[in-house]
Amino acid sequence: MNNPIQHGILLGDRYRIVRELGHGGFGRTYLAEDTNRFNELCVLKEFAPKVQGTYALQKGQELFEREAGVLYKLQHPQIPRFRELFRAKLGNESYLFLVQDFVEGKTYRALLDARKQQGMVFNENEVQQLLVQLLPVLSYIHALNVIHRDISPDNLMLRHADLLPVLIDFGGVKQVAASVESQFTEAAVHASPTATRLGKVGYAPDEQMHMGLVYPHSDLYALAVTAIVLLTGKEPQQLIDPY
């Protein structure tokens, strides 16, 4: 993974870094200002899988660009718009970024945690409203043969502007990073067959976690688990009987 980019750095003569939002297996995520759009806030997702060698990185970037092309065609008001891919160079380090709209709001994980501190959870009407507002979004992406793969309270946001749920962090990008690392890192030679599986334990169905198989109903399963977690305040591991 590349070194973190400091506040105030201008990338591509356009995007000024505000702060790092987080990091994962695929790289770091930054909040940035788009100087070509009156300093409108946006999100930069870096693609930097932990691989060695030019060929491995090039192959990974090709897969990443292909996945970004899939996400770029999604045009729905409850999905952050993917704007572009761009490359940048700082010193001796090269970067590849995916740019998407910034959503002002809170994740359902943060909302649930805040309620639990007060001894509360989501009520039935609130969860029903979430399902009514989100199921059409899933219907839309599934009609385009796109599967989210990673639905959970962490990847659903309640947008402040209109109080609608927004679907964030599509799993395809993370899947590319995991697949590239699995194929091209030395450690992957001895890794388990589940090394490239994507999804949160308890939220993803068994066939996704154990065999990497995803279908539209994989998203519906994860959304159903999410609804139960919001209603009960308990994690899937506390709710599912292993026997």
With beta carbons less than 8 A apart as the criterion, state whether 198 and 148 touch.
Answer: no
> Residue 112 — pLDDT band, cuts 50, 70, 90?
very high
Point out the catalytic residue in the list 150, 154, 219, 241: 150
Instruction: Output the six-digit token pair for 192.
Output: 């388990």
Q: Is 154 a catalytic residue?
A: no
Distance CA 146, CA 143 (A): 7
Tell whether the model's pLDDT for residue 190 goes beyond 80: no
Q: Would strands 82-90 and 40-46 be described as parallel, antiparallel, or unpaired?
A: unpaired
- Other Cβ atoms within 10 Å of 237 Cβ, number: 9
Predicted TM-score (pTM) of this structure: 0.84
Run of H or E including 227? helix 216-232
- Other Cβ atoms within 10 Å of 187 Cβ, number: 10
What are the domain boundaries of the chain?
10-101, 105-236
Res 185: pLDDT: 52
- Residue closest to 52 by CA, chosen among 237, 186, 233: 186
With beta carbons less than 8 A apart as the criterion, state whether 74 and 138 touch.
Answer: no
Distance CA 122, CA 108 (A): 10
> Residue 189 — pLDDT band, cuts 50, 70, 90?
very low
Give percent of the chain above pLDDT 90: 52
Res 80: pLDDT: 93
Distance CA 109, CA 226 (A): 10
Amino acid present at 103: V
Superfamily for 105-236?
Answer: Transferase(Phosphotransferase) domain 1 (1.10.510.10)
What CATH number labels 10-101?
A: 3.30.200.20
> What burial class does residue 96 get, using C-beta atoms within 10 Å of its C-beta: 0-12 exposed, 13-18 middle, 19+ buried?
buried
**Span 10-54, pLDDT tens digits:** 999 999 999 999 887 678 999 999 999 999 999 999 887 665 556
Res 172: pLDDT: 64
Distance CA 233, CA 226 (A): 10
- Other Cβ atoms within 10 Å of 214 Cβ, number: 22
With beta carbons less than 8 A apart as the criterion, state whether 168 and 103 touch.
Answer: yes
Distance CA 42, CA 125 (A): 32
